[in-house]
Amino acid sequence: MRMIQKLKLFEQSVVFLRWATDAEFGKILYVGDDFVEFLALNPDTMEYGDKILINSQLILEVMVSGYEISRLIAEISAKVTANTMDSDNFSF
């Protein structure tokens, strides 16, 4: 199975992606036949930043699970919960 075919299983997932010139945590938005659309995540602020189109032949490594990925997902979830509690529409 080619890596592009395997990456299609992880669309809309938070991953660590290393390609020829950089490496970032982020979300895979779309996997095409010749490119991957990737939304970079700033781990310090837990906010999404740049949308990057990466030639699929330049991808060197993809980490889809592990301690760091789980930690990032937990922090993103905590931030979403905190933002929900701060809204005026929140009630018990």
* Residue 87 three-state SS: coil
pTM of the model: 0.74
Residue type at 32?
A: G
* Residue 38 three-state SS: strand
Please count the other Cβ atoms lying within 10 Å of the Cβ belonging to residue 27. 19
Is residue 82 predicted with pLDDT exceeding 70? no
The whole-number pLDDT of residue 91 equals 42
Show me where the domains of the chain are located: 3-86
Alpha-helical runs (H) found in the chain: 3-7, 67-86
pLDDT in tens, 46-66: 888 999 999 999 999 998 888
**Fold for the domain defined by 3-86:** SH3 type barrels. (2.30.30)
Considering all CA atoms of the chain, what is the largest pairwise distance in Å, rounded to the nearest integer?
A: 50
Is residue 22 predicted with pLDDT exceeding 70? yes
Contacts for 83 with CB less than 8 Å, ≥ 6 apart: none
The whole-number pLDDT of residue 1 equals 67
